[in-house]
Amino acid sequence: MAGPLHQFQIQKIVPLEIAGADVSFTNSALWMVLGLATAFIFFGLSTRKAGVVPGRLQMASEVLYEFIGNMVRDNIGKKGYVYFPFIFSVFIFILLANLLGLIPGSFTPTSHIIVTAALGLTVFAGVTVFGLWNHGLHFFSIFCPPGVPLPLKFLIIPIEIFTFLFKPLTLAIRLFANMMAGHVMLKIFASFGPMLITLGFLGYAMSILPVVTNVAVYALELLVAILQAYIFAILSCIYLKDTVELHH
Amino acid sequence: MNRFVAFICVSLFPSAVFAAEGHGEAVGPALPQMDVATFPSQLFWLLICFGALFWFMSSVAIPRLGKVRKSREDTLEGDLALARQYKQQADDEVAAYDALIRAAYAEAGAQLQAAEVQIRANAEAQIDAFRARASALIEEAEREIESMRRESLKSIDQIAAEVAVLAAEKIVGLPADIDQARSVVQTLNQKAA
């Protein structure tokens, strides 16, 4: 039987190479594409015949729209509306990757650090580029909170720069680690079952325990899947706030 | 009960698959996430999928949802505006009705007052006319009484003269002149007056 890390193995489905780089269509790519297709179908269908009086499907997509819309407005402000499509896409992408990854036998693209790091760096690059674009060099004043006495500035400014540079890393690691840990836990509990069965009758009877535990863990993982998408989106909002208005 | 069994089956399914999946040993580093060789492929497909999702969201889903929410807001606002307009109309009607009622009351009051004044004037005029007529009648009656008194006084003089003549004849046996008697009476009358 395979170890708990085997589920994260990238497997090539269609080998592909562009300009010498291996860009094969893998199981990770498959589940990203399936997530994308789910989003297309869900939002396509629910908004196709959008009416003033919404149906169930339309209501569901409107709830998501309003949820992220409120998040953007509360955390960035009215000017943050330019970031709304990005935050909405990030939220839906991570949410669908996490949720589809919970389908047994599927693959979770967000359990790979490179994917979450790319998303985190996109946010980081957005913060830096739009911050400099909107505020010019004045943007760097985010490293120096107002009202700090001069001696403390020598301490605060390096810490603030350090914090700023670590933002994409924390975004990436938080999501990746949560997804990976959850799936490892599911795998470990699941493999307790077959192990117990080999111990004879008593083990056979007791093998129900890891299964029952796994049901609870699975429910927890559903919560984590949604929560991590939410956390990633809301932290992106908080980081992007600096590009709209400086100083808190 | 069936629902419960189905729930149990569905709940147990993940465990079974997680336990069974993955035969054949892993290749590469111990942690598949650290296999740098898979990074280009993952980044490439992430770029494609996230790019497509971002395009779809920003150019299809969000505009559609924004439009329907805007139209809902407009509909609600339009309905509310219409309701406000109808309420205003109703208020105006009530105000006009009130004004009409007040005007009617005022007019009725004025008419009543005018009628009262008229009636009073009529009554006074009639009383005055009656009084005038009555005093005229009284005056005439008084005049008539006066003339009758005079007439009767004249006849009394005549009678007195005649009675004096007759009395002179009967009592004294003297023939008396009627004209003499009359002048005596007149003289007496004048003395009395």
Strands (E), chain A: 12-14, 17-18, 21-22, 25-26
DSSP string, A34-86: HHHHHHHHHHHHHHHT--SS--HHHHHHHHHHHHHHHHHHHHT-GGGGGGHHH
Query: Does the structure show a pLDDT above 60 at B26?
Result: no
Nearest to A127 by CA among A230, A232, A233, A244: A244
Mean pLDDT along residues B17-41 = 68
Q: What are the structure tokens assigned to B77, written together?
A: 């606002």
Beta bridge partner(s), residue A17: A22
The answer to whether residue B119 sits within a structural domain is: no
Query: Given this model, what pLDDT does residue A8 score?
Result: 86
Contacts of A187 in chain B (CB under 8 A): 18
Amino acid at B46: L
Query: Which range marks the domain in which residue A231 is found?
Result: 24-244
The answer to whether residue B153 sits within a structural domain is: yes
Overall number of domains in chain A: 1
Q: Do A22 and B40 touch (CB under 8 A)?
A: yes
The A residues from 126 to 155 touching B (CB cutoff 8 Å) are none
Q: What are the structure tokens assigned to A52, written together?
A: 């003033």
Q: Do B18 and A190 touch (CB under 8 A)?
A: yes
Mean pLDDT of chain A: 88
Q: What is the pLDDT of residues B120-131, one digit of tens each?
A: 999 999 999 999
The radius of gyration of chain B's CA atoms, rounded to the nearest angstrom, is 68
Q: Is A62 an 8 Å CB contact of chain B?
A: yes
Q: Which residue of chain B comes nearest to A88, CA vs CA?
A: B57
Q: What are the structure tokens assigned to B100, written together?
A: 């009409």
ipTM of predicted complex: 0.90
Query: Does the structure show a pLDDT above 80 at A110?
Result: yes
The answer to whether residue A2 sits within a structural domain is: no
Query: Does the structure show a pLDDT above 70 at A235?
Result: yes
The answer to whether residue B175 sits within a structural domain is: yes
The answer to whether residue B182 sits within a structural domain is: yes
Helix (H) or strand (E) holding A243: helix A208-244
Query: Given this model, what pLDDT does residue B17 score?
Result: 62
Angle at alpha carbon of residue B125, lines to B122 and B130, rounded to 5°: 125
Q: What are the structure tokens assigned to A56, written together?
A: 């169930």
Mean pLDDT of chain B: 85
Query: Which range marks the domain in which residue B188 is found?
Result: 145-192
The answer to whether residue A126 sits within a structural domain is: yes
Overall number of domains in chain B: 1
The answer to whether residue B140 sits within a structural domain is: no
Contact A110, A175 (CB under 8 A): yes
What distance in Å separates residue B14's CA from the closest CA in chain A?
5
The answer to whether residue B187 sits within a structural domain is: yes
Q: What is the pLDDT of residues B93-135, one digit of tens each?
A: 999 999 999 999 999 999 999 999 999 999 999 999 999 999 9
SS3 category, A17: strand
Q: What are the structure tokens assigned to B155, written together?
A: 């006849």
The answer to whether residue A4 sits within a structural domain is: no
Q: Do A47 and B58 touch (CB under 8 A)?
A: no
Q: Do B46 and A32 touch (CB under 8 A)?
A: yes
Q: Do B71 and A186 touch (CB under 8 A)?
A: no
Q: Which one of A41, A64, A65 makes the best mutation probe of the B interface by having the most chain B beta carbons within 10 Å?
A: A65
At B24, is the pLDDT very low, low, confident or very high (cuts 50, 70, 90)?
Answer: very low
SS3 category, A20: coil
The span from the CA of A213 to the CA of A194, in Å, is 14
Q: Which of A164-168, B5-9, B36-40 has the highest mean pLDDT?
A: A164-168
The span from the CA of B175 to the CA of B109, in Å, is 90
The answer to whether residue B15 sits within a structural domain is: no
The answer to whether residue B178 sits within a structural domain is: yes
At A201, is the pLDDT very low, low, confident or very high (cuts 50, 70, 90)?
Answer: confident
Q: What is the pLDDT of residues A7-24, one digit of tens each?
A: 888 888 888 788 878 888
Query: How many C-beta atoms lie closer than 10 Å to residue B148's C-beta?
Result: 10
